[in-house]
Amino acid sequence: MTCRPLILAALVLGLPQLAAAQEACTTYTVREGDTLGSIAQAAYGSFNYQMIFNANRDVIAANPGILPAGLQLVLPCEDGRLTADTALSAIIESETAKQETSRDPNRPYVPAMKLVTANDWKPFTDESLAGGGIYVRMATTAMQRGGNDQQYKLSFVDDWGSHIDSLLPSHAFDISIAWSKPDCTKMDLLGEFAVKMCNDFEFSLPIYEVAYSYHTLVDSPFAGARAFSDYAGARICRPEGWPISDLEVEGLAEPVVTFVHPKAPMDCAKMLLDGEVDLYSIEIETSTANFEELGATDAVELNPALATFNTHHFVTAKSNPRGRDYIAALNRGIEEMRESGEWYDIVATGLAEYNGMQN
């Protein structure tokens, strides 16, 4: 899960400001001074703007930090539906039916693709979730779209590091679900792990763009950071398996900062509350859910001026003789899912399931 950062600064989250009235389940016209953060706060009561980004990816993905006045944005319903009169999963059901009717019974045999992922990364990957989570559903669906009809075997191996160190290089598995992509144009700034990812692995097209948040305690001296250099000296928590390349390219590497890597995201949230670390950084959806579950949203502060967008991908070892074919097939499926709207339907239904588990 190494990272390709896009620095968004205050333009994305937005410092507190007056905002026009905005409601979920509507279309909103951007006004001068609006940011994704301010729009999300007005519509949903939270700076977590990931759902708005997901629904409007095609028009804002190139530069989410700049929202021109007059831009039309879809503000999804709180359960993820794009409009009040649409149903979640409708596109999934339609596309699945098409696949069933077009399947060729005489297709040649192709060995099953071996997929591997890990638990405890909700809502993205976990055996307790429908289909194994959002990213697993994307992978298995992509292999049935874009002209594909690929069989697969799915396993959960909860040691993320083993995926990269041995399982993919040995070809015990073909694809790992899922990892962030480092900025391989800045190899001189990257740590050993990120360089290895650039040199030894192939990445699919992005399957999801996630906003990484930066949480501190409300009274922390790091709460007022307005540049990444302001985090110098901080103890930064990212869970085991979540690489740090987005911070490395900003000059935040050991010994400038101290990294702490517990096993699970919730461990980071608890360590922040206990004062064992100064900063907790992970996907904004995960961190927000962690603090809500702990009943600690009033004790922490989300930095409104700093954020990075990181792209998540399916990954294969470059040494895998079928790896590039698998990535190409996944890419065809991803592209079709984007075009049909099935990609958004999978995201929205997965988030709705996860949110329902939290309530």
* Domain residue spans of the chain: 9-75, 108-208+312-358, 210-310
Rounded (10°) CA dihedral 56, 60, 64, 65: -120
Mean residue pLDDT of the chain comes to: 87
If you average pLDDT over residues 262-291, what whole number do you get?
A: 92
Expressed in angstroms, the distance from the first to the final Cα of the chain is: 28
As its CATH architecture, domain 9-75 has Roll (3.10)
- Residue 179 C-alpha from the chain's centroid: 9
Percent of the chain surpassing pLDDT 70: 89
Residue pLDDT, tens place only, 183-227: 999 999 998 999 999 999 999 999 998 888 899 999 999 998 999
If you average pLDDT over residues 141-166, what whole number do you get?
A: 94
The pLDDT assigned to 86 comes to: 79
What tokens does 9 get? 């600064």
Same fold for the domain at 9-75 and the one at 210-310?
Answer: no
pLDDT band, very low/low/confident/very high, at 50 (cuts 50, 70, 90):
confident
Sequence-ordered list of residues with C-beta below 8 angstroms from that of 272, at least 6 positions apart, any chain: 215, 216, 217, 237, 278, 279, 280, 300
pLDDT band, very low/low/confident/very high, at 18 (cuts 50, 70, 90):
very low
If you average pLDDT over residues 340-349, what whole number do you get?
A: 94
What tokens does 340 get? 């049909």
The pLDDT assigned to 48 comes to: 79
Q: Are 268 and 240 in contact (CB under 8 A)?
A: no
Least confidently predicted of 100-109, 118-127, 184-193 = 100-109
Q: Is the peptide bond before 255 cis (omega within 30 degrees of 0)?
A: yes
CB count in 10 Å sphere of residue 166 = 13
As to burial, measured by CB atoms within 10 angstroms (0-12 exposed, 13-18 middle, 19+ buried), residue 65 is middle
CATH of 210-310, one of 1.50.10.20, 2.60.40.10, 3.40.50.2020, 3.40.190.10: 3.40.190.10
The pLDDT assigned to 1 comes to: 47
Handedness of CA 289, 292, 293, 298 (dihedral sign): positive
The pLDDT assigned to 285 comes to: 80
The pLDDT assigned to 109 comes to: 64
Least confidently predicted of 10-14, 59-63, 159-163 = 10-14
The pLDDT assigned to 255 comes to: 95
Describe the crossing of helices 342-358 and 284-293 by its angle, rounded to 10 degrees: 20
Residue pLDDT, tens place only, 57-94: 888 876 666 788 999 999 998 888 888 887 878 888 88
Residue pLDDT, tens place only, 231-273: 999 999 999 878 788 899 889 999 999 999 998 899 999 999 9
Helices (H), 81-127: 90-102
Question: What's the CATH code, domain 108-208+312-358?
Answer: 3.40.190.10
3 state SS of 239: coil
The pLDDT assigned to 3 comes to: 41
Q: Which of the 8 DSSP states describes residue 25?
A: T
Q: Which amino acid is at 239?
A: P
pLDDT at 22 over 70: no
The pLDDT assigned to 145 comes to: 94
Q: Are 89 and 345 in contact (CB under 8 A)?
A: yes
